[in-house]
Amino acid sequence: MLFAVKMNVEIPRDLDEQVRVDLVEREKTYCQELQKSGTWRHIWRCAGQYANLSIFDVADNEELHRILWNLPLFPFMTIDITPLAQHPSDLAAGAR
């Protein structure tokens, strides 16, 4: 199942700098591991925001839920999720 996930990040300004650096580094590592596995298919930065729009390819809602809850920055995120389905006008639809 494909999901579009918009993640807005709001790390508190008064969070200890070393804690922030550690969280961001662990987030990057986790994200890249999921990309290498094919689960986190795409990630785009939203210009002018501390946010991203990502595409996840997971078995079901529960897998996506588990992945998102394990994000190191999860406590500082607002997340919007949109399930995706094939569009009949997609030129690539016939190739699949």
Structure confidence by residue, pLDDT tens digits, 30-52? 999 999 999 999 999 999 999 99
What confidence tier does 67 reach under pLDDT thresholds 50, 70, 90?
Answer: very high
Q: Specify the pLDDT at position 96.
A: 54
Delineate the domains of the chain, giving CATH numbers in brackets: 2-85 (3.30.70.1060)
Strand order in the sheet with 40-45: 40-45, 51-57, 2-9, 77-84
The two counts, helices (H) then strands (E), for the chain are 2, 4
CA 37 remoteness from chain centre: 14
Is 94's pLDDT higher than 80? no
What confidence tier does 92 reach under pLDDT thresholds 50, 70, 90?
Answer: confident
The answer to whether residues 94 and 16 touch, using CB atoms and an 8 Å cutoff, is: no
